[in-house]
Chain A
Amino acid sequence: MAPTYTHKFDHAAFKGEVEIPLGLFINGEHVESKDGKTIDTINPTTGEVICSIVEGTAADVEIAVDAAREAFENTWGYNTPGFERGKLLMKIATLMERDADILASIESLDNGKAFTAAKYFDVTESAATFRYYGGWADKIHGKTIEQSTGKFAYTKHEPVGVCGQIIPWNFPLLMFSWKIAPALAAGCTVVIKPSELTPLTAAYMTKIFQEAGVPKGVVNVVCGYGPTVGNAITSSKKVDKVAFTGSTPVGRKVMEEASKSNIKKVTLELGGKGANIIFEDADISEAVKYAAQGIFFNHGQTCCAGSRIFVQRKIYDEFAQKFAKVTQQLKVGDPFETATYQGPQVSQTQYDRIMNYVECGKQEGATVITGGKRHGKTGYFIEPTIFGDVTSNMKIVQEEIFGPVVVMTAFDTEEEVIKEANSTNYGLASAVFTQNLSRAHTVAGKLKSGTVWINCYNELHPQIPFGGFKESGIGRELGEYALENYTEVKAVHVNLSAKCGFPVDV
Chain B
Amino acid sequence: MQSAPPPAYPRGSTHAEVDVPTLGRVELPVGLFIDNTWRPASTGSTFSTVNPATGESLLSIAHASSEDVDAAVKSARLAFKTTWGNNVHAAERGAALNRLADLMERDKDRLAAVESLNSGKGIRMARDSDVADSIGCLRYYAGLADKFHGQTIPHYGTEKFVYTVHQPIGVCGQIIPWNYPLLMWAWKVAPALAAGCCVIMKPSELTPLTALMLCDLAKEAGIPSGVMSTLPGLGSTTGDAIARHMDIDKIAFTGSVVTGRKISVAAAESNLKKVTLELGGKSPIMVFDSAHVEKAADWTAMGIWFNSGQDCCAGSRVYVQDGVYEEFAAALKKRAEATGIGMPSDDKTSFGPLISEVQRDKVMTYIEGGKEQGARVVTGGKRWAKSDGGFWVEPTILADVHDEMTCVKEEIFGPVIALSRFTSESEALERANSTTYGLAAAVFTRDTQQAMRMSAALDAGTVWVNQYALIHPGAPFGGFKQSGVGRELGTYGLEAYTQVKAVHHNLSQTVEWPL
**A-side interface residues toward B, CB under 8 Å?**
82-83, 86-87, 90, 128, 131-132, 134-139, 141, 147, 149, 152, 437-438, 441-442, 445-446, 462-463, 480, 494, 496
Contact = CB atoms under 8 A, between A and B. Distances in A.
Given A131-B91, A134-B143, A138-B140, A496 B507 contact: no
B155 interface: no
A66 B349 CA distance: 47
B94 interface: yes
A437 B145 CA distance: 28
Given A83-B139, A149-B456, A438-B506, A136 B95 contact: no
Residue of A135, A138, A139, A147 contacting most chain B CB atoms (<10 Å): A135
B426 interface: no
Interface in B442-465: 449, 452-453, 456
Nearest to A90: B98
Given A87-B139, A441-B161, A442-B507, A480 B456 contact: no
Contacts of B142: 135
B467 interface: no
B26 to A, nearest CB: 30
Nearest to B149: A480
Contact of A83 (B136, B449, B452): B136
B147 A136 contact: yes
B146 A441 contact: no
Contacts of A137: 143
Nearest to A439: B507
Interface in B98-149: 98, 136, 139-140, 142-147, 149
B262 interface: no
A265 B506 CA distance: 40
A87 B158 CA distance: 43
Interface of B: 90-91, 94-95, 98, 136, 139-140, 142-147, 149, 158, 161, 449, 452-453, 456, 473-474, 491, 505-508
Given A86-B143, A441-B505, A442-B507, A135 B453 contact: no
A135 B144 contact: yes
Main secondary structure of the interface of A (DSSP, over half): helix
The 9 A-B pairs of least Cβ separation, nearest first, read A135-B143, A441-B161, A463-B146, A442-B507, A438-B507, A138-B474, A445-B158, A496-B452, A441-B507
A135 B505 contact: no
8 contacts: A83-B139, A83-B474, A90-B139, A135-B142, A139-B144, A442-B508, A462-B91, A463-B146
A135 B474 contact: no
B504 to A, nearest CB: 12
Contacts of A149: 453, 456
A275 to B, nearest CB: 19
A41 B449 CA distance: 62
Contacts of A90: 98, 139, 143
Contacts of A83: 136, 139-140, 473-474
Contacts of B453: 149, 496
B507 A131 contact: no
B206 to A, nearest CB: 31
Contacts of A446: 158
Contact of B146 (A135, A147, A152, A437): A135
A438 B505 contact: yes
A134 B142 CA distance: 10
Contacts of A152: 452, 456
Main secondary structure of the interface of B (DSSP, over half): helix
A135 B507 contact: no
A493 B297 CA distance: 32
Residue of A132, A139, A149, A462 contacting most chain B CB atoms (<10 Å): A139
Nearest to A128: B91
Contacts of A135: 94, 142-147
Nearest to A135: B143
A146 to B, nearest CB: 11
Contact of B474 (A134, A139, A147): A139
A459 to B, nearest CB: 13
Contacts of A438: 505-507
A496 B143 CA distance: 37
Contacts of A147: 456
B41 to A, nearest CB: 39
A48 B452 CA distance: 68
Contacts of B491: 139, 141
Contacts of B145: 135
Nearest to A437: B505
Contacts of B456: 147, 149, 152
B152 to A, nearest CB: 11
B97 to A, nearest CB: 10
Contacts of B140: 83, 138
Given A141-B491, A480-B149, 19 more contacts: A83-B140, A83-B474, A131-B95, A132-B91, A134-B143, A135-B94, A135-B143, A135-B144, A136-B147, A137-B143, A139-B147, A139-B474, A152-B452, A438-B507, A442-B507, A463-B91, A463-B147, A496-B449, A496-B452
A462 B140 CA distance: 18
A480 B144 CA distance: 11
Contacts of A87: 139
A149 to B, nearest CB: 7
Nearest to B508: A442
A187 B145 CA distance: 21
A437 B161 CA distance: 11
A480 B507 contact: no
B98 A132 contact: no
Contacts of B473: 83, 138
B463 to A, nearest CB: 12
Nearest to B145: A135
A141 B491 CA distance: 10
Contact of A136 (B91, B139, B143, B158): B143
A120 to B, nearest CB: 16
A476 to B, nearest CB: 14
Nearest to B457: A149
Contacts of A82: 474
A463 B146 CA distance: 7
Contacts of B161: 441, 445
A86 B147 CA distance: 14
Contacts of A138: 140, 143, 473-474
A364 to B, nearest CB: 37
A138 B456 CA distance: 25
Nearest to A462: B91
Contacts of B449: 496
A131 B98 CA distance: 10
B99 to A, nearest CB: 10
Nearest to A81: B472
A132 B146 contact: yes
A446 to B, nearest CB: 8
A90 to B, nearest CB: 7
A141 B147 CA distance: 13
Contacts of A132: 91, 146
B129 to A, nearest CB: 16
Contacts of A131: 91, 94-95
A442 B158 contact: yes
A178 to B, nearest CB: 16
